[in-house]
């Protein structure tokens, strides 16, 4: 692998911030690469898991938040399960996602942040997820309105997609949680 | 056997069949599932990809309701199970998270409610031997690939479900109802479900690879205990023909659907008609 680190980007803050949020100690990674070998998307991304860790160790800066694995990661937790040093790499990715969202630099292919917002919007409104509204909202946002439409009639017929919004949840409790949580589930 | 039951949002939408078959099987086996009143969304992957406190506080709200009921919480959705287990792990191991969750909920949660997957209840509390006795319609050696995916198994120190590299709980249940549990190397792979709508290409490729492995092992059907896996492997088969040129026609059932059939429960009550790939081979093996 070739690792390029931007000149003058100390990266100290990114590594420190990631270590703090994910509660990991990156000094314990000895680059055995078990995480990368087990990762189902290693072959698809610019930098597989062990390389991301090496970059953080070497002092990469915020440019690393743009690396494609941040939003291509499937959260399958294979990296964490197989790491001999119990480094929670899936947690590192979640921390990088949160930092990227806060800094407004998350612009991945497929736009998972938009999907997550539309999902959480429905949770905030109904106390439970409402697939139909979430999917329409996401598709409107990405302009990929026609993807999967051929499946909808069958799904609706088979009852695989609720038409009406969910009811029965304690909505006020969910609102309280969203208001208290840092992100507040707001559209950014 | 009495539990607080958390159905999860998918139980009323994309995974109604998971919910229906769970309730039908529980009833037939005398397992009392008391639905938690007013339950709310666990936040799923959207919450943990966004904010750690949101990800812990949403499941904690339901865990507190289960605590008031003084019962273990049974979850049948592998994703909700994972989020609830992660919450327990986080509040126990991180005082900072516990404090922030308390602040968000206005109530302290100590991580003490046991979270059980319905497969764990069937495997440990009921046990395969008792299940076997209840079988009315054995599977006649139907070749079944048991597929676990990620949420039940990983991280093992959080879920504690089974051996993370070679789990066998599902196989034991399949054998108990008269199926042939196949040895196959795909059972702990990831289906790519987390990106089902955002990077459908990845989900389709991952899921097609898993179906290929199951097919090579001689599987007549795949069973799963996760609605994300079920959707990836079943619904996304319709897209696989475009990338692989193959029509697999591989039935993908919830383990509770297969168990329900073996208990003589009518297919309709198990939501069998909701599967995108009709499980013809399975119904034939059972003379249905
Ligand atoms: S498995 Fe662990 S120790 Fe090995 S390279 Fe990955 S993070 Fe480092
Ligand atoms: S959790 Fe993400 S980074 Fe880790 S193995 Fe899975 S896809 Fe790869």
Q: Tell which residue, B266, B286, B225, has the closest CA to residue B22.
A: B225
A10 vs A151, more confident = A151
Same domain, B102 and B137: no
Residue B134 lies in a domain: yes
Query: Which ligand places an atom closest to the C-alpha of A25?
Result: 1
Residue B46 lies in a domain: yes
Residue B163 lies in a domain: yes
Residue B123 lies in a domain: no
Shortest-distance atom of ligand 2 to CA A49: 3
The pLDDT tens digits of the residues spanning B125-153 come to 999 999 999 999 999 999 999 999 999 99
Are B54 and A185 in contact by the 8 Å Cβ rule? The answer is yes
The pLDDT tens digits of the residues spanning B38-77 come to 999 999 888 998 999 999 999 999 999 999 999 999 999 9
Highest mean pLDDT among A69-83, A104-118, A143-157: A69-83
Same domain, B7 and B61: yes
Same domain, B54 and B13: yes
Pairs of CB atoms within 8 A across A/B = 181
CA distance A45 to B137: 48
Which residue, B96, B117, B138, sits at the end of a domain? B117
Residue B33, both tokens: 């599932």
Which residue, B69, B89, B117, sits at the end of a domain? B117
The model's confidence at residue A139, banded by pLDDT at 50, 70 and 90, is: confident
The model's confidence at residue A143, banded by pLDDT at 50, 70 and 90, is: confident
Rounded to a whole number of angstroms, the distance from the CA of B260 to the nearest CA of chain A is 19
CB contact under 8 A, A135 and B189: no
Q: Which pLDDT score is estimated for A109?
A: 82
Same domain, B240 and B271: yes
Secondary structure of residue B5 in the 3-state scheme: strand
A149 vs A38, more confident = A38
Residue B216 lies in a domain: yes
Whether this model's ipTM surpasses 0.85 comes out as yes
Same domain, B90 and B228: no
Same domain, B154 and B104: no
pTM comes to: 0.94
- Average of pLDDT values for B17-43? 97
Range of the structural domain that residue B67 is part of: 2-117
Q: Which domains does chain A have, with CATH numbers?
A: 14-103 (1.10.1060.10), 112-178 (no CATH)
Q: Which pLDDT score is estimated for A186?
A: 41
Q: Which residues of B touch A78 (CB under 8 A)?
A: 150, 154, 190
Q: Given a cut of 60, is residue B17 above it in pLDDT?
A: yes
Region label for B141, one of left (φ > 0), alpha (ψ between -120 and 50) or beta (otherwise):
left
Q: Which residues of B touch A177 (CB under 8 A)?
A: 54, 57-58, 61, 104-105
- Average of pLDDT values for A128-143? 89
Q: Which pLDDT score is estimated for A188?
A: 36
**Strands annotated E in B147-264:** 180-181, 221-224, 252-254
* Residue that the structure tokens 């006649």 belong to: B140
The model's confidence at residue B186, banded by pLDDT at 50, 70 and 90, is: very high
CB contact under 8 A, A77 and B150: yes
CB contact under 8 A, B202 and A44: yes
A89 CB near ligand 1 (under 6 Å)? yes
Same domain, B154 and B261: yes
Which residue, B117, B144, B162, sits at the end of a domain? B117
CATH number of residue B16's parent domain: 1.20.1050.140
CB contact under 8 A, A160 and B235: yes
Q: Given a cut of 50, is residue A187 above it in pLDDT?
A: no
Same domain, B40 and B139: no
Rounded to a whole number of angstroms, the distance from the CA of A142 to the nearest CA of chain B is 9
Same domain, B136 and B102: no
Same domain, B105 and B136: no
Structural domains of chain B, count: 2
């Amino acid at each position: 692998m070739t690792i390029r680190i931007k000149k003058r980007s100390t990266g100290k803050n990114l590594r420190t911030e990631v270590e703090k949020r994910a509660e990991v100690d990156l000094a314990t990674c000895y680059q055995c690469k078990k995480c990368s070998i087990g990762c189902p998307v290693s072959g698809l991304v610019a930098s597989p898991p062990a390389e991301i860790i090496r970059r953080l160790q070497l002092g990469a800066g915020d440019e690393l938040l743009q690396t494609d694995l941040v939003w291509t990661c499937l959260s399958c937790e294979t990296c964490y399960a197989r790491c001999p040093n119990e480094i929670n790499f899936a947690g590192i990715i979640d921390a990088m996602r949160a930092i990227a969202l806060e800094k407004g630099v998350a612009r991945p292919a497929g736009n998972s942040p938009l999907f997550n917002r539309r999902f959480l919007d429905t949770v905030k409104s109904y106390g439970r997820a409402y697939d139909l509204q979430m999917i329409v909202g996401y598709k409107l946002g990405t302009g990929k309105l026609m993807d999967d439409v051929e499946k909808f009639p069958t799904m609706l017929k088979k009852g695989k997609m609720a038409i009406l919004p969910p009811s029965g949840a304690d909505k006020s409790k969910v609102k309280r949680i969203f208001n208290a949580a840092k992100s507040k589930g707001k559209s950014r | 056997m009495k539990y607080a039951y958390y159905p999860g949002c998918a139980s009323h939408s994309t995974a109604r069949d998971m919910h229906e078959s769970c309730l039908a099987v529980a009833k037939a086996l005398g397992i009392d599932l008391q639905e938690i009143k007013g339950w709310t969304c666990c936040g799923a992957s959207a919450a943990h990809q966004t904010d750690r406190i949101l990800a812990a506080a949403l499941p904690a709200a339901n865990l507190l309701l289960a605590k008031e009921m003084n019962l273990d919480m049974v979850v049948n959705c592998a994703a909700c199970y994972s989020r609830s287990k992660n919450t327990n792990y986080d509040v126990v191991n991180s005082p900072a998270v516990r404090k922030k969750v308390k602040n968000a909920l206005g109530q302290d949660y100590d991580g003490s409610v046991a979270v059980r997957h319905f497969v764990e209840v069937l495997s440990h509390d009921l046990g395969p031997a008792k299940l076997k006795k209840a079988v009315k319609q054995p599977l006649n050696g139907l070749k079944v690939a048991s597929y676990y995916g990620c949420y039940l198994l990983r991280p093992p120190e959080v879920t504690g479900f089974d051996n993370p590299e070679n789990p066998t709980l599902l196989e034991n249940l399949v054998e108990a109802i008269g199926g042939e549990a196949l040895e196959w190397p795909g059972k702990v792979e990831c289906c790519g479900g987390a990106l089902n709508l955002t990077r459908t290409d990845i989900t389709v490729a991952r899921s097609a690879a898993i179906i290929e492995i199951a097919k090579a092992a001689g599987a007549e059907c795949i069973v799963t205990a996760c609605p994300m896996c079920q959707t990836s492997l079943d619904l996304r088969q319709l897209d696989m023909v475009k990338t692989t040129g193959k029509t697999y026609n591989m039935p993908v059932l919830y383990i509770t659907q297969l168990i329900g059939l073996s208990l003589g429960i009518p297919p309709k009550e198990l939501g069998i008609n909701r599967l995108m790939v009709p499980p013809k081979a399975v119904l034939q093996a059972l003379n249905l």
